[in-house]
Structure 1
Amino acid sequence: MKPWLDSYPSDVPHTVDVDAYDSVLGLFRDAIAKFPDHVAIECFGASLTFRELDNESDALAHALQSRYGVAKGDRIAVMLPNIFAYPIALLAVLKTGAVQVNVNPLYTPRELEHQLNDSGAETILVYSGSAPSLAAIRHQTSITRVITVNPGDGTALSIPGSDIPEDLGDYTPLANLLAEHAGKRPQAVPLAGDDVLFLQYTGGTTGPSKGATLSHRNLIANTLQFRSFIPAANEPGAEVVVLALPMYHIFGLMIFVAYAAIGSKAILIPNPRDMDAYLAAIKDAGFSVIGGVNTLYAGMTKHPLFKQVDLSRYKVAFGGGSKIFPSTSEAWKAHTGAHIVEGFGLSETAPILTLNLMGQDRFSGTVGYPVPSTDVKVVDDNEQEVPIGTPGELCASGPQVMRGYWNRIQETEAAFTRDGYFKTGDVAVMHPDGQFEIVDRKKDMILVSGFNVYPNEIEAVAAELPEVAEAACIGIPDEKTGERIRLFVAPVAGADVDEEALISHCRQSLASYKVPKEVTVLEELPKSNVGKILRKDLRDL
């Protein structure tokens, strides 16, 4: 039963050919051949054409192979914001046949150490501003080769980066590698759809973060699914895309790949939190496509400069990562004439599972229809499908769904139903026309500005303080970030908890979006009869 197929427009196919390309490199090769002189990347007022992007990535790929001995299947960590070096690195990794480990450049040393060791990465491209975090833990990881990156690397721009700490150890600046290997081509590596392309790390409620293993076929499938579902905003060689979403996040990464594959220009935004600089960068760009989370769109519509942004070529805004509020979409429509097109997906699904259609007169409040070649169902705790309109766990299958978690057999088995559907952990209902609405999260995950935050990690950090006996955190609604983190603690008998000191401690070990904004001290936290802390009871306090 797939009622959503009856709601598809006549120009949207029910399935896509996931074997149309052998690899994601094939998608890029196609765009480079068709649009060599089109601008591929724009940032800091400079640009790279597809031909130039190809040449720069050739140089880096040659360096990785000839100087560092990188071979097919090796893991390469990429710890970069949205700057020129990111797409250069991505294309270079593709050409070597290696596996890209996407790393948040805001990670603390503790978070970075786990991801590097879990992935087994031996090579890392690291933004100069993130080098101190790497320096603090490098010798506890498998990293043997470090390439440092400054904002203008890959172009003629000379933009200074941060000072590299002396205790980082041996490293090579990316600019040096690009200069030394300019004009050289890497050795060709055979690629296939089943080859692993990305390790996209996602947290877990019962343990450390896990690497979702995404293949070339996963990304090819999602690119073609997206392209076929939104044909009006996928005109080859004509789209201009604003990439305010970080490319180390699966949402931003997928948008870049999908639009680069059709020869689009991507405007990279290194820091969308600087709203003045961000809007100045896109004001005269004549962009047609943008992706973002609720926080981004709300901030844009409330900023006075947004009224000056050129919307003459605007087509669509995609929303995901966190729930789009109706008020935000209404404000967006008042400026642009169209609602935000909301979708749903996860790191494990590369990411798009469902998406609304363009051109809707009203904001649906749903996450839309399953994209082509995707099956979605809602099940009860016994994995039996529930009737339409009945809440249950949303489960999905399709060529965009990961093969499993990196080196985690048990977690992989637990993530799928007996008949092979991925369990998203989200509670949803299916509407009669096949649209899906997310009701709640089955897990205790918290969404802060589109980033997954998992309570156990924060609680473990809080409990490191000797005066803290118990800790539990929940997400509470926040107009700016979707949710903010409220931490509850109970002190050790006879001790006092300094709330500011606790937050400061968390800030040292957690990325900024994971740091609690509020701390409540209780004499004792509510527990079940077996001693399990009851987060649901904390929500009533």
Structure 2
Amino acid sequence: MDIDRSILDVFSNACTKFGDRPAFSCLGQTLSVGDIDKLSARFAAYLQNHTDLEPGDRIAVQLPNVLQYPVAVFGALRAGLVVVNTNPLYSRRELKHQLNDSGAKALVVLANIADTAAQIVAETDVKQVIVSEIADLHNPFKRVLINGVAKYVKKMVPDFSFSNQVNFRDAMTMGGNQPHEDVQRSPDDIAVLQYTGGTTGVAKGAMLTNRNLVANMEQVREALGDSMKEGEEFYVAPLPLYHIYAFTIHCMCLFSTGNHSLLIPNPRDIPGFAKTLKGLRITGFVGLNTLFNGLMRCPEFAELDFSKLHTTCSGGMALTRDTAKRWEEMTGCVVTEGYGLTETSPVVSFNPAEAVQMGTVGVAVPGTEVKVIDENGNDLPNNSPGELCVRGPQVMKGYWQRPEATAESIDSEGWFSTGDMAVIQDDGYIKIVDRKKDMINVSGFNVYPNEIEDVVSAHDKVAEAAAIGVPNEKSGEQVKLFVVKAEDSLTEEEVIAYCRENMTAYKVPKEIEFREDLPKTNVGKILRRELRDEELKKIETAVSA
């Protein structure tokens, strides 16, 4: 396993070896590995010749799964920049925090969502905004048609204005007229700042180095073994590339092996998703439990050709036995579940396709050590539940500009404490027995109660608030919020509207319950566990009735 390489080394090798192979397709347009090479070189040239960005500077990329994403990311890396993966669904508050915390000096953003950034960019250090429309890398006819329909027919592009704006296509034209120089970075240099709430809810940037990402790429490839053949795979990419799981699979593992990814910009449109797959003979599918369920409820999906599908990877949230069984019955392909975290680039463990153990997240990927510890930090024997700790080359360098948080999560011997409770079986398979203490998992997205409570508590009419996760058939969990009023006039509608203004949609509570007070410890800490237990009792009572 050669991990002493940069992402640029991996990229250059892929371009030399697989230049004519298809790399990414989206909305009917395909770019080859060679196309990505040429286009990312143009973008790198623009960054080097037409901006003040220097190697090591941060550039935020706020794009869904469109062809511009790999071009912008690889172009930024070739220019020696650090990529800050940015969720397109962010609210103004969330986006402002990430841009300021990372110190991003440039932003690449899709026109459809640019109005959010336009409202706060003046309050950040961003000096250059590159705005792209959805079909900017399609052929001229399709580009005009798709972009025109999005803007004028579907009204998907709101009004916005930046004082420091350049259009993506103009930037590519400028870059095409200038030379560029690939900036070599060391394996220990940061390549990506990947933001995560961790266990505190405060968004922190996990510093993922070139070595971290290259190591995890090699680990995943080795774990998949012969099931990932060079130049022969055609994987569906519905999970967002700005999420480190999809980034590592599609932009690292598949690209480096000359394989093809089909980008799905809007996987929530299940009928449209199924229509996109019609007539295609896919070999791999990367998804999560709620997505599998949504697709299997779509009649058109059941009619697709799954004869070549040999790999289905599940991550991001727990895979249920029923979902896995129904997926195998419908597609003929076993679902292999894995486990990982943003801080581990992300894959820690994976179920081998030939030896899947349902209810586990598989065995540690090559080069990775795992152990469980008790509350005092003592190592525990196999089959004993404890906090899962991980050590390996994929463990992050630390949290960006947060040495104390880094020291709390990574000890002097390099062990990263995940905060998840697990059991390691005698055969090495890992079973996650409990989640991070209070985290809520909505359709694979981590939602942290502290963040929700901080936002809601800022409302003038709110005295106290507590957020918990409750079961939801479609999303796995949903947020329920308990509120103590500061003013009797406060309504549920007011709370929801306030949340929608200040938080990404999946974080917005689906249920509000007003209370006179909240359960607390003797030092005044709200006992979310008691609230969760109450909700579970309600559910059990309802079921038994």
Which bin holds the TM-score, normalised by the shorter protein?
over 0.9
Residue 141 (1) aligns with residue 135 (2): no
What is the letter of the counterpart of residue 497 of structure 2? S
Segment of structure 1 superposing worse, 35-44 or 507-516? 35-44
What is the letter of the counterpart of residue 504 of structure 1? A
Give the 3-state SS of the residue equivalent to 1:540 in structure 2.
helix
Q: Deviations over 1:422-480 (max 9, x none)?
A: 00110000111010000112321111111111101111121122221110000112221
The aligned counterpart of 1:126 is: 109
The aligned counterpart of 2:504 is: 511
TM superposition shift of 1:24? 1.0
In the TM superposition, 1:318-467 aligns within 5 A as 318-360=313-355, 364-467=358-461
TM superposition shift of 1:164? 6.2
Q: Is the 8 A contact 1:427 1:440 kept in 2?
A: yes
Q: Deviations over 1:317-344 (max 9, x none)?
A: 1001000111100110101223210000
The aligned counterpart of 1:18 is: 3
2:56 to 48, 73, 80: 73
Q: Deviations over 1:207-240 (max 9, x none)?
A: 5200000011111101111111111221000011
The aligned counterpart of 2:472 is: 478
**Counterpart Cα distance in 1 of 2:392 and 2:183:** 27
1:534 to 515, 523, 527: 527
Q: Deviations over 1:150-190 (max 9, x none)?
A: 11122323132554644432200101111232264411312
Q: Is the 8 A contact 2:115 2:160 kept in 1?
A: no
TM superposition shift of 1:39? 1.1
Residue 225 (1) aligns with residue 210 (2): no
Q: Is the 8 A contact 1:56 1:154 kept in 2?
A: no
Give the 3-state SS of the residue equivalent to 1:134 in structure 2.
helix
Give the 3-state SS of the residue equivalent to 2:296 in structure 1.
helix
TM superposition shift of 1:44? 0.6
**Counterpart Cα distance in 1 of 2:519 and 2:121:** 40
Q: Deviations over 1:227-282 (max 9, x none)?
A: 11111221000011111000111111111121011001110000000011111112
The aligned counterpart of 1:11 is: none
Runs of 5+ in structure 2 lacking a partner?
A: 535-545
TM superposition shift of 1:482? 1.4
**Counterpart Cα distance in 2 of 1:164 and 1:500:** 25
TM superposition shift of 1:36? 1.2
What is the letter of the counterpart of residue 221 of structure 1? A
The aligned counterpart of 2:539 is: none
> What percent identity do the matched residue pairs reach?
43
The aligned counterpart of 2:10 is: 27
Q: Is the 8 A contact 2:455 2:499 kept in 1?
A: yes
Distance 1:33 1:184, change over 3 A: farther
**Counterpart Cα distance in 2 of 1:100 and 1:369:** 30
The aligned counterpart of 2:516 is: 523
When the two structures are aligned, how many residues end up with a matched partner? 522
TM-score (norm 1): 0.94
**Counterpart Cα distance in 2 of 1:232 and 1:450:** 28
**Counterpart Cα distance in 2 of 1:382 and 1:420:** 17
What is the letter of the counterpart of residue 80 of structure 1? L
Give the 3-state SS of the residue equivalent to 1:181 in structure 2.
helix
TM superposition shift of 1:50? 1.1
What is the letter of the counterpart of residue 245 of structure 2? F
What is the letter of the counterpart of residue 525 of structure 1? L
TM superposition shift of 1:483? 0.9
**Counterpart Cα distance in 1 of 2:313 and 2:13:** 25
The aligned counterpart of 1:211 is: 205
Give the 3-state SS of the residue equivalent to 1:77 in structure 2.
strand
RMSD value, Cα? 1.4
**Counterpart Cα distance in 1 of 2:135 and 2:499:** 33
Give the 3-state SS of the residue equivalent to 1:91 in structure 2.
helix
What is the letter of the counterpart of residue 371 of structure 1? V
**Counterpart Cα distance in 1 of 2:528 and 2:158:** 42
Q: Is the 8 A contact 1:59 1:178 kept in 2?
A: yes
Give the 3-state SS of the residue equivalent to 2:254 in structure 1.
helix
**Counterpart Cα distance in 1 of 2:199 and 2:395:** 20
Q: Is the 8 A contact 1:207 1:456 kept in 2?
A: yes
What is the letter of the counterpart of residue 171 of structure 2? L
The aligned counterpart of 1:3 is: none
Distance 1:281 1:163, change over 3 A: closer
**Counterpart Cα distance in 2 of 1:387 and 1:210:** 32
Q: Deviations over 1:88-129 (max 9, x none)?
A: 011101211110000001100100000000000010001111
1:169 to 163, 166, 170: 163
Distance 1:451 1:469, change over 3 A: same
User: Post-superposition, which runs of at least 4 consecutive aligned residues in structure 1 deviate over 6 A?
Assistant: none
Residue 109 (1) aligns with residue 92 (2): yes
**Counterpart Cα distance in 1 of 2:519 and 2:460:** 20
Structure in which a larger fraction of residues adopt helix: 2
Give the 3-state SS of the residue equivalent to 2:281 in structure 1.
coil
**Counterpart Cα distance in 2 of 1:185 and 1:287:** 38
Q: Is the 8 A contact 1:88 1:154 kept in 2?
A: no
**Counterpart Cα distance in 1 of 2:381 and 2:32:** 51
The aligned counterpart of 2:492 is: 499
Give the 3-state SS of the residue equivalent to 1:230 in structure 2.
helix
Distance 1:182 1:480, change over 3 A: same
**Counterpart Cα distance in 2 of 1:496 and 1:524:** 17
Q: Is the 8 A contact 2:53 2:105 kept in 1?
A: no
The aligned counterpart of 1:62 is: 45
TM superposition shift of 1:294? 0.5
The aligned counterpart of 1:89 is: 72
**Counterpart Cα distance in 2 of 1:96 and 1:357:** 37
TM superposition shift of 1:283? 2.3
Residue 317 (1) aligns with residue 312 (2): yes
Distance 1:261 1:286, change over 3 A: same
Q: Is the 8 A contact 2:483 2:513 kept in 1?
A: yes
Residue 297 (1) aligns with residue 292 (2): yes
TM superposition shift of 1:205? 4.1
What is the letter of the counterpart of residue 281 of structure 1? T
TM-score (norm 2): 0.93
